[in-house]
Structure 1
Amino acid sequence: MMAVETRRHFLKTTGVLSIGFSLLGVSCLQRTEKEGGNTFPFHPVDDSQINAWLQVLSDGRVKILSGKMELGQGIKTAIVQVAAEELNTSMHLIDIHIAETDVTPNEGYTVGSMSIETSAMAVRNAAASAREILVRMAAERFIVPENSLTLKDLIITGDNVRISIGDLLEGKQVQGKVTTPATILAKTERKIVGQPVPRKDIENMVVGKQHFIHDLRFEGMVHARIIRPPSYTAELLSMDNTDYSANGLLKLVWIGNFLGVISEEEYQAIHLARAIGKVANWKVGDALPTGQGMEEHILSLPSEPDPAVEKGLGKNGINGANIIHEASYFKPYLMHAANGPSCSLAIFQNGKLTIWSHSQGIHPLRSAISQLVEIPESDIHIIGVPGSACYGHNGADDVAAEAALLAINYPGRHVRLQWMREEEHGWEPYGTAMRMALKAGVDQKGKIQGWDFNLWSDVHGTRPFGSAENLLPARYLGKGYQRPVNGFKGGAPRNAEPYYEIQNMRMQTHFFKGPLRRSALRALGAYANVFAIESFMDELALKAGIKPMEFRTNHLKDPRAIRCLERLEDKINKIQKGDHEGLGHAFARYKNSSSYCAVAVWVLVDRKSGAIHLKKMWAVVDSGEIINPDGLKNQIEGGMIQSASWALKEEVKFDQKHIISLDWITYPILRYNEIPEIEVELIEQSDQPPLGAGEASQGPATAAIVNAIYDATQVRIRQLPIQRQLLLA
């Protein structure tokens, strides 16, 4: 059972509204007030105030608050480093509490590689502002100059002065607004920031301590499972009248086309769901498109073009070019494929609903669930707990909404709902399929004189955003909710405008409504767009008779981009390739405004089987100021591995009824023994702002792989995943 405290004891002992375990403690799980009670607050946090981000506990330690979710990116470690630096304080004296409604700031979603750029920098300013205020308070109290005092390890000292910040505040909090501090110690002292501090939560995972939401247990907790329809649009016609109470059924929750079972034991819930699912009578609904390739299907769908982005003569700049080349590229539907299926816990008691969720945005999720269950937001409390792997919008919000529905229909006890593997694979929102068509002209000097890029994509984000219709169970409740149509369009053209210097350019996005559920997947449209652009740049370079690396640098003016490519070339220019081996590389600046990333790949292709062996991958990355180089490298390496898996293996497949990629056999991913040696070099730019990096390497890694395959085989890959029969040709 997870330990909890009463709010009365909690307030007596801390004097503040939340508590978090130390970063160096045993778990990422967080304590909060007694769940399901009547006393949890509904006071939106004013994030302009210092005490929204930083609070002093009764023992004089400091607690940092962040609305961002820990997704495995190490944000908790990095944020504590930032705070410790500005407070000139050892990290073990700082706790951190993340993602809890009415306790932490509402920072929306943890998306877009923005956690360091936004949340960590907000904490930096709050901690530095607090340091200045605390020193000023001590100076006024002891009537000494501010510059004679030093704050270190939460104690202020000077000539005949020594006082802890807890004693200085006398049980109160630091009052004042977050301002632009006069001094940022990370820029002047830099003792903690920039150091490779390891994530202590990794140890908890390895030894099996409580960490993930899947580990949560409460006394008296019951278990649930959902009975899924056979298709997206299926309709429940009838159920039999069998009494399943002898099989452990506590309650069958039946609302419209929504079916869920609740039992004492998880094993019972699994078998009940399967048994009842067999006797449920469904009308299957609309058929999914089969019989043609997905790329051809995309082109057959009606599409809505966005206004074109043009520069110079647009696509007319291609006219009269010495070399004119065109090609199209395709990326299929991809899964998040989280290692741990989505999970949530909820309890409804005394009119209050408490939910534990690994959603990437607990505040917008609360708004959406409030609409769905018709309970005021003031009566809903959501506590963020890490899930087992996911970058993007998977089933976390959906399972939380389902757990809420079940808990409301079975009040007074904690209801735990975990999806099965086939549910996670079959019902999550996928990264959409995309098609990219490029045409360009190169002049006699080897410069691109005209560029035309057309992109076909569904929307890339249908997160709840406070809207109930974007939650999976909404469409089955019989309340008129329909399948989400709209979504975040801005994700589709991400990185579709090349970062290269091209005088005449045109780019246009064509939006279609695809057959599968879709939402945000790591890097959104940038993955496919960079794959297409960087493959095309290689093709143009070869047609122009120029080395691909040189061709890229000839079209760059940004010295930081050029430096990344030059350092990458230094790493690979002495590689001695064997038979059937190839080297390829690629470059992108994520979102054209975030981290710079140049990637190289060394491959061996088996000419008999077509099997691709990744021998080594390199990356050179410029993310501006580096907070934690260990965490940054982990992000880049993880992105490269995931990208390789997408490129080589992954594709969502379906029949007329529903998804058929329902396990690790029908949806294979890269295995541990297939992961190559990876070398990442970081270019430190401590005088520059930090840049998000979690999604920087996906596009360049896949492009580098296909370029390396061409170097080894002279076969150009333009459709993903890479098909062995293409290589056998």
Structure 2
Amino acid sequence: MSTILPLRPSRRDVLAGGGLLVAFSFASRSLALAGGGEGGGGPQVLRPDLPGDLKIAPELDSWIHIAPDGRTTVFSGKAELGQGIRTALLQVVAEELDLRPAQIDFITADTARTPDEGLTAGSHSMMDGGTALLNAGANVRMILTRQAAQLWSLPVDQLTTSGDGHVVAPDGRRLAYGAIAAKVSLHVEAIPNAPLRNPASYRTLGKNYPRVDIPAKLTGGAAYVQDLRLPGMLHARVMRGPSYGTNLVTPDLAAVRRMPGVVAVVENGTFLAVVATSEWQAITAMRVAQRVNYVRTMPPLPVVDGVQTLLGLPSREIVVLDTHDATSPTEHTITASYSRPWISHGSIGPSCAVAWLREDKGEKALTIWSHSQGVFDVHRAVAGLVGLKPEQVRCIHSPSAGCYGQNGADDVAAEAALIAMALPGRPIRLQWMREQEFGWEPNGCGMITKVRASLGADRKISSWQYDVWSNAHNNRPVQPGGYAVAQQIVPPFAPQVPAPIPMPEGDGDRNANPLYRFRNMHVIYHFVPQMPLRVSALRSLGAHLNVFSIESMLDELALVAHVDPLDFRLAHMEDPRARAVITAAAERFGWRSRRKGDGRRGCGMAFARYKNIGAYCAIAMEIELVRESGRIIVHRVVAAVDAGQPGSPDGIANQVEGGIIQSISWATREAVTYDQSRRTSFDWGTYPILRFEDVPGSIDVVVLDRPGQPFLGAGETAQGPTSAALANALADATGLRLRDMPLDPATILTALGPEG
């Protein structure tokens, strides 16, 4: 009996273009429920006893197919975003199947083929997706080994696997996986305790395997959705106001239609798009249409108060933490407020999508190629937007410039789909312009925290009052109304209602509950539904400012207590793995023998466990302040990370290095600017990001080896500790405690005063 394929046709077999176009439905994909994860549709749990995402797709053929010739295909609902997860997940499943990675065809994030694992977000790819593949691989290897034992009439515990796709008997006989798989079915549910391989005998997992997504990117190959070219493809541009919340006033669409190469102008309410034969023709036509005034259709932007406007908006109080420990006398109290502005994703490549509507005998099938981090949400929400059933919409993930959050990827997919619906039979490639990306994408939330902390006579924290104000960080579209275009078309969709993500994940309150043991902790999240600017997920969500605030306050308290910042942290930390990470970073950095602050140079450290359930990360940093200009030079950074069993140590190091660089950029430069009617940061001049000349002189990442421990996910663990360590290093160097990001040269020079 041959293995059942993990693809099965739905009731709809659609003929188009002279060939058979099959609208597939994933064999065991569960229905999605809105509201889970970071704004994504939360997959329904079918088998809560199974580890990771196996619980939402228990059948093994949902994940693994072995052909009679031994070729193995593996399916994952997680997407490659430039974080190297395709390689790490490949290593995981290759290890437990005991195959060479080169023997595996790896299919990711395709709503017609792969499990619905929700979003690729929140550092869950290894925690949930990797855990699922680890255990699915172990289940399949167990089934193959048992079948071989039955064929040979041998005890199963006498058999081994070879590392290249064979089961091996004690006498040397070998049986290929393909030959065994032809006699069994993998359309069976996994068991929760299939025996895993011994970490001591790992061949692939925990090794530095070459990234499989890099060659095409280095050689100029077809690596991104922007590179996709389909027969008969047309190019589109949206004609719109300068930023979210604006409309063009009477654009000359007649002139646009007369321009060379223009195939169509799509009008739906105030949504306008031009479609042309070539990309440049579409751009030229778009510019003609946009040579008109615009009008703001939403309340004015908060120019006067900036992010402080959050404090005056209605909010819902959510109690995050409230302990009532024994009180002790208070020796000293510090009250402080910290903030960060609205931040752009700053993707190097503007968002892009390709959509293709095909029809046959009245049946429609829409395929979208998108770099959204939630292709399953796209296929459901876009279906509602364009009036199709979800099974008529297939969304295939195609990489683009990384953003780690919700940039314009979801919106451009929806808009490409709307345009494609008006031009059936022709693939439509829609790319936003740079100024549209900056003007229309959701920003990372501006946030404010207020901290009141007291020291006891024992030089430990005796009370901790913490408040955080933030909008929702989880506004990814799970309904049609979540797209910006949904309020422009006729009839419009009601906007998606913002909602906070519950703890322990959290959004604005993510990492607001310290892992440290403080006495008398009271933590409140002031959730602000009204959004002065359009916002959604940005890497690490609220953890960035919350860790910045907590770790800055710890240094402020340590200074008052006359205790070294390292010792102060260890005195309040009980988690042994956290202590090990903090100590490892300090030892590699040489914290005990570090250069003391001298007015220009200084050192700082910070720690957090991401979401208190993910990877542990400690950062130590040495900086120099150029007092004449206010520029911060980061000389060296040491990071120690415990992400559980390392799938790819080099991959973890890459993620942490990237997080460090991005966080330094956030902390020292980045802030969305605007006037009352529109955003004004439209390019790299008005929205500066870290340049190569400002990258730290050295970054040293220590990855702690935790063989056999659960995967913890490391993609966002460095964001908060890095910005906090930088602020602490600046305070050590100069005595300046700056609490409002960005810590840019103008802010620093103002704080230094005229004497410098």
- Same fold? TM cut 0.5: yes
Whether 1:660 aligns to 2:680 is: yes
Whether 1:67 aligns to 2:67 is: no
Helix, strand or coil for the counterpart of 1:604? Answer: strand
- Post-superposition offset of 1:171: 7.9
- Contact conserved, 2:353 with 2:370, CA < 8 A, in 1? yes
Matched AA of 1:598: A
- Contact conserved, 2:631 with 2:744, CA < 8 A, in 1? no
Could you list the per-position Cα deviations for residues 166-202 of structure 1 after superposition, in whole angstroms to 9, with x for gaps in the alignment? 1223387524211134421153522221111120322
- Contact conserved, 1:644 with 1:702, CA < 8 A, in 2? yes
Bigger Cα displacement from structure 2, 340-349 vs 190-199: 190-199
| Separation of aligned partners in 1, 2:17 and 2:658 | 37
Residue 251 of structure 1 aligns with which residue? 264
Residue 40 of structure 1 aligns with which residue? 23
- Post-superposition offset of 1:388: 1.3
| Separation of aligned partners in 2, 1:287 and 1:559 | 50
Aligned counterparts, 1:196-215, within 5 A:
196-215=208-227
Helix, strand or coil for the counterpart of 2:742? Answer: coil
Aligned counterparts, 1:468-483, within 5 A:
468-483=480-495
Bigger Cα displacement from structure 2, 262-271 vs 287-296: 287-296
- Post-superposition offset of 1:687: 3.7
Whether 1:420 aligns to 2:441 is: no
- Post-superposition offset of 1:381: 1.0
Helix, strand or coil for the counterpart of 1:176? Answer: coil
- Post-superposition offset of 1:426: 1.0
- Post-superposition offset of 1:97: 0.4
Helix, strand or coil for the counterpart of 1:650? Answer: coil
Whether 1:123 aligns to 2:133 is: yes
- Post-superposition offset of 1:278: 2.1
Quick one: structure 1 residues 282 and 324, their matched pair in 2 at CA, closer, same or farther if it must change by over 3 Å?
Answer: closer
Whether 1:157 aligns to 2:157 is: no
- Contact conserved, 2:604 with 2:726, CA < 8 A, in 1? yes
| Separation of aligned partners in 2, 1:172 and 1:412 | 42
Helix, strand or coil for the counterpart of 1:41? Answer: strand
- Post-superposition offset of 1:16: 6.1
Question: Which one of 619, 633, 638 corresponds to residue 613 of structure 1?
Answer: 633
Question: Which one of 284, 291, 304 corresponds to residue 316 of structure 2?
Answer: 304
- Post-superposition offset of 1:143: 2.2
Give the TM-score normalised by structure 1: 0.92
| Separation of aligned partners in 2, 1:618 and 1:182 | 38
Question: Which one of 329, 333, 339 corresponds to residue 324 of structure 1?
Answer: 333
Matched AA of 1:642: Q
Quick one: structure 1 residues 485 and 656, their matched pair in 2 at CA, closer, same or farther if it must change by over 3 Å?
Answer: farther
Helix, strand or coil for the counterpart of 2:22? Answer: coil
Helix, strand or coil for the counterpart of 2:368? Answer: strand
- Contact conserved, 1:51 with 1:174, CA < 8 A, in 2? yes
- Contact conserved, 1:15 with 1:171, CA < 8 A, in 2? no
Residue 347 of structure 1 aligns with which residue? 356
Question: Which one of 487, 495, 504 corresponds to residue 511 of structure 2?
Answer: 495
Residue 421 of structure 2 aligns with which residue? 408
Helix, strand or coil for the counterpart of 1:45? Answer: coil
- Post-superposition offset of 1:151: 2.4
Could you list the per-position Cα deviations for residues 464-512 of structure 1 after superposition, in whole angstroms to 9, with x for gaps in the alignment? 12x0111121111032324444133431111101111112110101122
Helix, strand or coil for the counterpart of 1:278? Answer: coil
Question: Which one of 555, 558, 572 corresponds to residue 538 of structure 1?
Answer: 555
| Separation of aligned partners in 1, 2:465 and 2:718 | 24
Matched AA of 2:626: D
| Separation of aligned partners in 2, 1:645 and 1:132 | 48
Matched AA of 1:507: V
Aligned counterparts, 1:90-489, within 5 A:
90-152=100-162, 153-158=164-169, 159=171, 161-170=173-182, 173-235=185-247, 238-240=250-252, 241-242=254-255, 244-279=257-292, 282-307=294-319, 309-312=321-324, 320-350=329-359, 351-465=364-478, 467-489=479-501
Whether 1:568 aligns to 2:585 is: yes
| Separation of aligned partners in 1, 2:83 and 2:151 | 42
Could you list the per-position Cα deviations for residues 648-674 of structure 1 after superposition, in whole angstroms to 9, with x for gaps in the alignment? 000011111111111111000001121
Helix, strand or coil for the counterpart of 1:438? Answer: strand
Could you list the per-position Cα deviations for residues 240-284 of structure 1 after superposition, in whole angstroms to 9, with x for gaps in the alignment? 4336334211000000010001000000000111112225x7543
| Separation of aligned partners in 1, 2:236 and 2:476 | 24
Question: Which one of 706, 723, 726 corresponds to residue 744 of structure 2?
Answer: 723
Bigger Cα displacement from structure 2, 554-563 vs 259-268: 554-563
| Separation of aligned partners in 1, 2:236 and 2:18 | 19
Helix, strand or coil for the counterpart of 1:337? Answer: coil
- Contact conserved, 2:248 with 2:290, CA < 8 A, in 1? no
Quick one: structure 1 residues 724 and 105, their matched pair in 2 at CA, closer, same or farther if it must change by over 3 Å?
Answer: same
Helix, strand or coil for the counterpart of 1:355? Answer: strand
- Post-superposition offset of 1:444: 1.1
Matched AA of 1:463: R
- Contact conserved, 1:36 with 1:353, CA < 8 A, in 2? no
Matched AA of 1:330: S
- Post-superposition offset of 1:237: 5.9
- Contact conserved, 1:232 with 1:285, CA < 8 A, in 2? no
Could you list the per-position Cα deviations for residues 365-417 of structure 1 after superposition, in whole angstroms to 9, with x for gaps in the alignment? 11100110011112111111111112011111111101100111011111101
- Post-superposition offset of 1:563: 1.6
Matched AA of 1:497: N
Instruction: Tell me the percent identity.
Output: 39
| Separation of aligned partners in 2, 1:365 and 1:533 | 36
- Total equivalences in the alignment: 699
Quick one: structure 1 residues 349 and 41, their matched pair in 2 at CA, closer, same or farther if it must change by over 3 Å?
Answer: same
- Post-superposition offset of 1:538: 0.3
**Structure 2 regions of 5+ residues with no counterpart?**
9-15, 30-56
Residue 5 of structure 1 aligns with which residue? none
Residue 50 of structure 2 aligns with which residue? none
- Contact conserved, 1:586 with 1:598, CA < 8 A, in 2? yes
Aligned counterparts, 1:579-728, within 5 A:
580-676=600-696, 677-728=698-749
Matched AA of 2:590: I
Residue 25 of structure 1 aligns with which residue? none
Give the TM-score normalised by structure 2: 0.89
Residue 527 of structure 1 aligns with which residue? 544
Could you list the per-position Cα deviations for residues 13-55 of structure 1 after superposition, in whole angstroms to 9, with x for gaps in the alignment? 996649xxxxxxxxxxxxxx99996422124534211111111
- Contact conserved, 2:629 with 2:745, CA < 8 A, in 1? yes
Quick one: structure 1 residues 334 and 243, their matched pair in 2 at CA, closer, same or farther if it must change by over 3 Å?
Answer: closer
| Separation of aligned partners in 1, 2:432 and 2:459 | 54
| Separation of aligned partners in 2, 1:168 and 1:308 | 53
- Contact conserved, 2:320 with 2:509, CA < 8 A, in 1? no
Quick one: structure 1 residues 44 and 473, their matched pair in 2 at CA, closer, same or farther if it must change by over 3 Å?
Answer: farther
Quick one: structure 1 residues 296 and 190, their matched pair in 2 at CA, closer, same or farther if it must change by over 3 Å?
Answer: same
Helix, strand or coil for the counterpart of 1:307? Answer: strand
